[in-house]
C-alpha cells in the first residue's frame, strides 16, 4: 500500500487521525487491503501528506487496537491476518455509526418521527441488495 492511497483533508471538521482510521476500516472491510499487506511507515505517511507523525501513529494505534492491523517484526504494520474486527455484524455496523448518527440528527432537525424514516431506510436497504 502506498501513502498516496490515503487522503487527508486538514480543514475538515473531522480530525485527521479519525479520517485515517475511517479509511483503513473501509479499505480493509471492503477487501482492498488484504491480510498481511504492509502499511506505509508512519514517516512515509507523515512526509507525503506533511502532517504530524504523531497523528499517523495515533491512527495506526487505534486500528491496531481494533484488530485491523498488527505489528510484524521487520515489516512494521501489516493488515491483520485474523481481521476479527470485520467479521461480526456488530463490528461492521459500527463502521456506519457516524452516518447513522448524522441521519438521526438530520431527522430530528426536520422534526420527523422515527417511523417514516425507518420505513424509507428499510426500503432503500432492500433495493440495494
Distance separating alpha carbons of residues 39 and 33, to the nearest angstrom: 9
Tell me the longest C-alpha to C-alpha distance in the chain.
Answer: 55
Residue 107 is a binding residue for another protein (CB under 8 A): no
The residue with cell 497523528 is 55
The closest of 86, 92, 93, 61 to 76, measured between CA atoms, is: 61
Query: What is the closest distance, in whole angstroms, from the C-beta atom of residue 2 to another protein in the complex?
Result: 17
Query: Binding string, 64-103, against another protein, x = CB under 8 A?
Result: ----------------------------------------
Residues that bind another protein (CB under 8 A): 8, 10-18, 42-43, 46-47, 49-55, 105, 108-109, 111
Amino acid at each position: 500500500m502506498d501513502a498516496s492511497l490515503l487522503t487527508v483533508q486538514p480543514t475538515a471538521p473531522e480530525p485527521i487521525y479519525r479520517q485515517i482510521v475511517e479509511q483503513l476500516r473501509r479499505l480493509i472491510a471492503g477487501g482492498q487491503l488484504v491480510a498481511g499487506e504492509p502499511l506505509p511507515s508512519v514517516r512515509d505517511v507523515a512526509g507525503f501528506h506533511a502532517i504530524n507523525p504523531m497523528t499517523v501513529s495515533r491512527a495506526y494505534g487505534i486500528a491496531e487496537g481494533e484488530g485491523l492491523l498488527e505489528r510484524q517484526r521487520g515489516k512494521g504494520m501489516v493488515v491483520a491476518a485474523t481481521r476479527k474486527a470485520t467479521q461480526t455484524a456488530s463490528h461492521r455496523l459500527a463502521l456506519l455509526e457516524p452516518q447513522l448518527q448524522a441521519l438521526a440528527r438530520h431527522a430530528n432537525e426536520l422534526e420527523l418521527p422515527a417511523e417514516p424514516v425507518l420505513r424509507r431506510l428499510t426500503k432503500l436497504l432492500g433495493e440495494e441488495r
